[in-house]
Amino acid sequence: QKEVEQNSGPLSVPEGAIASLNCTYSDRGSQSFFWYRQYSGKSPELIMFIYSNGDKEDGRFTAQLNKASQYVSLLIRDSQPSDSATYLCAVIEGAQKLVFGQGTRLTINP
Amino acid sequence: EAQVTQNPRYLITVTGKKLTVTCSQNMNHEYMSWYRQDPGLGLRQIYYSMNVEVTDKGDVPEGYKVSRKEKRNFPLILESPSPNQTSLYFCASGVMVNQPQHFGDGTRLSIL
């Protein structure tokens, strides 16, 4: 059973619109949640992390966490072609392991 | 410059020939880990280390070994590589597991 689930996409969004990326996780004890962006052929880079229920905003990015529903999302406002990448959700499970979802491929269309 | 350095970046080798992929970080991070990335499967953790001399299995440890004799280095060892270990490998480090992880540039391994 997959521990961290993401829709693999591809998700296609017009430039300037809001891109919404979703992730569910199975470990109710998880406390730390991360979003990484990975361009093709490159290594993952951190976009945002969130530890508490609610929203966390950083520029055009907002992470949303709902622990009761075991759901974390990433919103990208005013999407740009440079946002086209694969977005990886990661969750700490068992206090020591970092588990990634399979990633959602996002394409922003000019 | 803060970085995680992996070597080699690319390697083509044959079944059964032992190989080591090195990983070094200069940020004094406690937590280090190895991942493999395969199409459609995302990043899967192979091994992780909470500190020097402390290592543990991730989700896909079969066929791999690691060691953490120094804080900065965390080599990945394939004692008898097989074709199903052909993949893209990433090393990462962080202050702790619940802090952002910094990734190396990746090592693309092809086992023939």
List CB contacts (< 8 A) between A103 and chain B. Answer: 42-43
Q: For every residue of chain A, which 3-state class applies, written as one string?
A: CCCEEECCCCEEEECCCCEEEEEEECCCCCCCEEEEEECCCCCCEEEEEECCCEEEEECCEEEEEECCCCEEEEEECCCCHHHCEEEEEEEEECCCEEEECCCEEEEEEC
Pick from B42, B56, B98: which is nearest to A88 by CB? B42
pLDDT of residue A2: 55
CB-based contact B42 A102, cutoff 8 Å = yes
pLDDT of residue A30: 87
pLDDT of residue A94: 79
The residue of B37, B49, B108 whose CB has the most chain A CBs within 10 angstroms, and thus the best one to mutate to test that interface, is B37
Q: Are A23 and A72 in contact (CB under 8 A)?
A: yes
How close is the nearest chain B Cα to the Cα of A51, in Å?
9
DSSP B73: B
Average pLDDT in chain B: 95
List CB contacts (< 8 A) between B55 and chain A. Answer: none
Contact with chain A for residue B96, Cβ under 8 A:
no
In a structure prediction context, what are the per-residue pLDDT tens digits for chain A, which is 110 residues long?
Answer: 558 999 888 999 999 999 999 999 998 888 899 999 999 989 999 999 999 889 999 999 999 999 999 999 999 999 999 999 999 999 998 778 889 999 999 999 99
- What confidence tens digit (pLDDT) does each residue in B34-61 have? 999 998 888 999 999 999 999 999 999 9
Contact with chain A for residue B105, Cβ under 8 A:
yes
Q: How many CA atoms lie within 13 A of A86 on its CB side?
A: 24
Q: Between B68 and A1, name the one with better pLDDT.
A: B68
pLDDT of residue B23: 98
CB-based contact A100 B44, cutoff 8 Å = yes
Interface A–B counts its CB contacts (< 8 A) at: 55
Q: Which residues of A touch B (CB under 8 A)?
A: 6, 8, 31-32, 34, 42-46, 49, 51, 88, 90, 92, 95-103
pLDDT of residue A40: 92
Using alpha carbons, select from B54, B57, B58 the residue that is nearest to residue B68.
Answer: B54
- What confidence tens digit (pLDDT) does each residue in B3-29 have? 999 999 999 999 999 999 999 999 999
